[in-house]
Amino acid sequence: MKILLLGYGKMGKLISELAEKRGHEIIAKISIENVEDLDNLDPEEIDVAIEFSQPESAVSNITWAIERHIPVVAGTTGWLDEWKRVTEFVNQKSGTLFYASNFSIGVNIFFKANEYLAKLMNDTDGYSASIKEIHHTAKLDAPSGTAITTAEGIINNHKGYDSWTLTQGEPVKRNSVPVESERVDPTPGTHIVKYDSPFDLIELSHTAHSREGFVKGAVLVAEWILDKKGVLNMNDFLSFEI
């Protein structure tokens, strides 16, 4: 498989290493320093693009690839205010976009456990939900995409919540899930869901020991996506049901 890397930071370098170990070829490694090299690439030589860049680059990277009929595996977060426009473009071009806020298999099990817990808590009085996420200081967006997906899992499965609010401990309205973000090096990523009451506390958490889980998931998805069309996510890849 011939891979174009759109973004060559820490994640891009790890993806490159693992992909090559699995016998794949990296056609090009594009970063902000050499973005003009895109003009010299032959789309016919690219099987898939893996996009882990920055929020300000993600949309242009994705649309560049979709315009050239290159399937995209995207893991950059912080650009979802453009989601509707981008996905409409993907469908208009009969393209392929796989987006996940987190490619770790463990995190996606955590997402499903979070949804199931929200359903269990739906008719239980006296508990208040909240989320805390902790990442390294180089992470630019807050809250993390993983935290937003976690909040959406609560909102979609608990009738007591219809929104989330980024907060640093200040009170929020009753029907909004408070999300706290903390930046501490060298944390790869920790996400904690809490249901607190005057009597007890229920916690569900996921802690990444390294970025390798994210990297492996992204490469496995890139291998899987080649014969797929449309806008896809980790539910399509893993076929989880709860």
- What pTM, to 2 d.p., does this model score? 0.79
Token representation of residue 226: 């080649």
105-207 CATH choice from 3.30.360.10, 3.40.1280.10, 3.40.50.300, 3.90.190.20: 3.30.360.10
- 2-103+212-238 sits in which CATH class? alpha beta
- pLDDT tens digits, one per residue of 31-81: 999 999 999 999 999 999 999 999 999 999 999 999 999 999 999 988 999
Where in the chain are the domains? 2-103+212-238, 105-207
Q: pLDDT band at 242, cuts 50/70/90?
A: low
- pLDDT tens digits, one per residue of 203-216: 999 998 888 888 99
Q: Which residues are catalytic?
A: 135, 139
- pLDDT tens digits, one per residue of 173-194: 889 999 999 999 988 889 999 9
